[in-house]
Amino acid sequence: MPLQDWFLTAEERANPVSGIPVWTTGNLAEPLIHGAAYFDRLVDEVEALGPGDHLFFTDWRGDPDQRLRTDGPTVAQLFAQAAQRGVVVKGLIWRSHLDVLAYSEAENRDLSETISAAGGEVLLDQRVRRGGSHHQKLVVLRHQGAPERDVAFAGGIDLCHSRRDDATHHGDPQPVEMSPRYGPNPPWHDVQLAVRGPVVGALDTLFRERWNDPMPLDSENPMAYLRDRLRGSDLRPDPLPEQPADPPPCGPHQIQVLRTYPAVRPRYSFAPDGERTVARGYTKAVRRARRLIYLEDQYLWSAEVADLFAHALRDNPDLHLIAVVPRHPDVDGRLALPPNMVGREQALSLCERAAPDRVHVFDVENHAG
């Protein structure tokens, strides 16, 4: 089957300015299920980096004291020690809303300052719409003179508290506070892909496009810019080393890198009209589904998304939808909880009305219930 039947074509991507390839072939993709598996692999790969190698990462939240194994190292220790060995360590972390709003401003700033003090450069990035966030969770590792060892990690797992859970789902000993229904150590199921091959070059390009964008880091928030100036924060990214050639083919997998960026002013240099390839990619794939759509998601409460599934179910009488969602939203309270519950009920009802006997919704629990 031709790749363009499922993947977005260059025209469908609708962002000719970006240097990311339409898709790549000859890759090897390995799912690392649960944060403990991902963190353990990350430690092995980063500790093998030497002087002149590259460690680039982006994150929504980074907790410097998060232990990547039971006995460490922490995130800050792993990356700072790499920088001290001469590894080129560069990072972009979302600036974040205030901690008093249950976000991670202080944690992200601490991680940035710790790694930067060790010789790396980690910037707090607020080049988003007002009230928005950066949500990419990406690590790219390049090896001088040994491109066959290059690897990247992309998926849903942040370098932060609560993510180091495993198949027993007893939760991370370093938790974040969630709904009381999840107990003091909330279980956390998530996946990160380890990818090798030419796609590593595409993800390297993704990082470089964000890093090199000339928009000021605090363009959305003048007060944050003033605070950073007074603190002496790094507000101007240094030049990156020359990008290595793509790693050689190493596997059977075809991979397409998709992104979401808003249309902002001033414009992103790499996405002047924004980019919606994640939504476009999902839409194209769902419309081609004939037998099964299997979905795991933290949220399923968008009527617009549910309508896409409902149309697919009505158009294809043999199509089944299996959705696995949390039993309870991760937030609680009189203001946050009701909209979450109502939104999910509306979305699931829309799907079930389209095909009552072909929509199957499950939640999960550990052995402790």
CB neighbours of 330 closer than 8 A, spacing ≥ 6? 178, 179, 182, 186, 298
For 8-21, how does the pLDDT look when each residue is reduced to its tens digit (9 = 90+)? 999 999 999 999 99
138 and 184 share one domain: yes
Q: Is residue 367 part of a domain?
A: no
Burial of 149 per CB tally in 10 Å (0-12, 13-18, 19+): middle
Q: Is residue 153 part of a domain?
A: yes
For 71-95, how does the pLDDT look when each residue is reduced to its tens digit (9 = 90+)? 999 999 999 999 999 999 999 998 7
Q: Report the helix count and the strand count for the chain, using DSSP H and E.
A: 9, 13
> The CATH number of the domain where 127 resides is what?
3.30.870.10
231 and 297 share one domain: no
Please give the pLDDT value at position 130: 77
Please give the pLDDT value at position 99: 42
Record the tokens describing residue 191, joined without a space. 């996946």
Q: Reduced to 3 states, what is the DSSP secondary structure of residue 29? A: strand
87 and 192 share one domain: yes
**How many other C-beta atoms are found inside a 10 Å radius of the C-beta of residue 118?**
18
244 and 358 share one domain: no
Please give the pLDDT value at position 299: 85
73 and 181 share one domain: yes
Do you find a cis peptide bond into 73, omega within 30 degrees of 0?
yes
Q: Residue 31's Cα: distance from chain center in Å? A: 14
Q: Is residue 208 part of a domain?
A: yes
Q: Residue 114's Cα: distance from chain center in Å? A: 22
296 and 170 share one domain: no
For 278-315, how does the pLDDT look when each residue is reduced to its tens digit (9 = 90+)? 999 999 999 999 999 999 998 888 899 999 999 999 99
Residue 235 has pLDDT above 80, yes or no: no
Q: How many domains does the chain have?
A: 2
Residue 338 has pLDDT above 80, yes or no: no
Strand order in the sheet with 292-296: 292-296, 320-324, 359-362
Residue 227 has pLDDT above 60, yes or no: yes
246 and 311 share one domain: no
Q: Is residue 273 part of a domain?
A: no
Please give the pLDDT value at position 279: 96
Q: Is residue 14 part of a domain?
A: no
Please give the pLDDT value at position 134: 84
Q: Is residue 299 part of a domain?
A: yes
Q: Is residue 284 part of a domain?
A: no
Please say which residue of 235, 255, 275 terminates a domain.
255
Domain that holds residue 184: 24-255
Report the chain's mean pLDDT, rounded to a whole number.
91
Record the tokens describing residue 23, joined without a space. 């898709």
Please say which residue of 232, 255, 278 terminates a domain.
255
